Structure 1
């Protein structure tokens, strides 16, 4: 296998995974890994929550924008732009401490992350040369788990030699630059691709009561994903007797996330998407509640397994189900699902920091988050019962 061959399936999948490590890891999730260190001498929890929310504002805008990029050649251009933005905004965090600059950089990084994930994944799917791409795309999306793990390991390695979060951001910038060069080279085409762009009109009939319930449930999942995705290491470190275990728990999140997409998608094909989504969300609720109810080290490490093992898979499950329902007209429904998820991601850090300020710990924020995700589960249970005939097809 020639890893420099743009048309090799192995090279395409590797480039896609590296793009996710840069876009989702360097530009988004490594902020969580570095948060405990930055809280010590620069950030407040409140400003950290605002920065997380701004990052998701950028990601939400980028995701919606990506839905309407039809031409594959334009996708390549925006993918390259996104990768460069991910690298540049990481450099900003290592070289400045201006709050306004940080705020702008997190928005731009979020937009870049959307280009890397949404647009990059579309290019991977287009380039792969195989009849059934489901398994290959499952391997590709394991890159989200790798993005957590690899960037966390880079942070750990840096701290062995230089315990400075600024140095960590610089090293992550260098890593991101090198990895992005490979991804940008492989995820492009030797010649301009001629493509017939199919225009789909807005189809109101897609938005059935079942689909509306699905969209609201995905909003709830957006909330459930973000609170732990932003604060988990600090949540664990704040528990009595667990100081210093936060980053180890975050490493476990990455390890658990790597195979999760393939496992959940396999189960969905066998037992039905909605049934498996409900189970995954219930497990996520357990993971959210563990730090609120117990300071047991093993239970809290298990909460990392539950979070990593569900959040990546749930994105794939919801989007796959949306694609099945939409059929030949996926753009509008995908956009609606992405928007709902993104709104949940933007709001969750904001109410969390308010509750943390009010109560002096993360407990109430975790309770509220678990309740919101549980409401999403109840909606899906109702949808499962009310629209039983439809479920047999999904």
Structure 2
């Protein structure tokens, strides 16, 4: 028997009357557990570890400043392997065993789609960098936000950029993903409005060669081919396009045509490829902090976004004066778009909230204003091109 319990009993108090010993009170005195569910392996493997490093740095800063609600934060990290089944197993552990209040950083849209129902059913808050339109159309009851622009917006940007490059005939080569159809529809609308044409083909991303699919695409003599896959299958696709002597222009997602892919291919295979990515706010103090954490002059957009996830979740709990998925759901917009003083870090926001002031968090990925269904309301895009084995910035718009 603990000394505390003996003292209570010696004063004639029963366990039923000993409110200090109630399980809920004991739970409130322990650490607040937050989880990351990122791709430490698989197609998203280049991004997941850095995302976790970023979250840990923010949590360390918050804990050093006294924590949240008088409690320290404990981070629990799991690998979704860029695979829905593995993601579900990891999410169940985070929710059922670790009992995290929020899960941050799901990357692949298929993983987020699989994991989201577990979160809203358990009232665990979920923040994601996945882009498929279908995600925020799920009945998530407000327990989800994303900082990644949806694929309707991204598809339109792909189409508009293809037109800027003089393309009239565009071919979209993509594996089957939760965002393939919405991206295609939006891209087609933009190109066809200007008198162009878009054709498409869905391929099996597990095949060791995609030459048959490449030959099918080239029969239409496209001016530009848009690459809709992840790094592993895009690597295969680019090799087969080079062998087929394709001389047109190539445009891919920035997360796919990354430095790892460029270094894995001969220079003549990757030279000249255009990439498109949601743009972080490289003028923000928060962006500079992510650059310090990741030891990168140009941190990837997902590290910037997850920096904002953990900051917003910490601030939402502080504003609500409670550490729960419900508290985050109800307060995240209050700290992100509440019309208060601009802040760019969790620690700065906590100080202002403790002083009774309203805040408006502006992060490394830009303004974090969310629609009613959890979409980010606006975003800039970063356009780059592979030149001499490196990605060179063309514009941010």
Task: Give the TM-score normalised by the residue count of structure 2.
Answer: 0.31
Q: Please state which structure has a larger fraction of its residues in helix.
A: 1
**RCO (CA 8 Å, sep 6+): is it higher in 1 or 2?**
1
Q: Please state which structure has a larger fraction of its residues in strand.
A: 2
Greater radius of gyration (CA): 2
Task: Give the TM-score normalised by the residue count of structure 1.
Answer: 0.31
